[in-house]
């Protein structure tokens, strides 16, 4: 268990940067597609979608879908 914690912690910044990059990419796409878009609203909608997917992944973990990944 300790090895897993150390491995994930060593990649913490990389994981967080990847999440931020996905968010910023979709913010840019929204700005391109809808120039008059309310950026705050767009940001919240994107975060909500990301959270929905994270919640699905959590449910999949609980269901055992990643036990032998």
54 domain residue, yes or no:
yes
Owning domain of residue 60:
22-64
- The total domain count for the chain is 1
**What is the average pLDDT across 21-36?**
97
17 located within any domain:
no
Q: Is 15 a domain residue?
A: no
Distance CA 59, CA 11 (A): 23
pLDDT tens, residue by residue, 30-68: 999 999 999 999 999 999 999 999 999 999 999 999 999
Residue of 57, 53, 59 lying closest to 26 (CA atoms): 53
Distance CA 39, CA 36 (A): 9
Question: Are 50 and 23 a contacting pair, CB within 8 Å?
Answer: yes
Give domain status of residue 13, yes or no.
no
The whole-number pLDDT of residue 1 equals: 80
Whole-angstrom Cα distance, residue 40 to residue 68?
39
Instruction: Give the predicted TM-score (pTM) of the model.
Output: 0.88
């Amino acid at each position: 268990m300790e090895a897993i914690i150390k491995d994930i912690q060593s990649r913490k910044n990389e994981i967080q940067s990847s999440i931020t990059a996905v968010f910023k990419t979709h913010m840019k796409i929204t700005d391109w597609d809808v120039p008059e878009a309310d950026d705050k609203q767009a940001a919240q909608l994107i975060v909500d979608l990301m959270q929905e997917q994270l919640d699905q992944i959590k449910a999949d973990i609980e269901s055992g879908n990643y036990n032998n990944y």
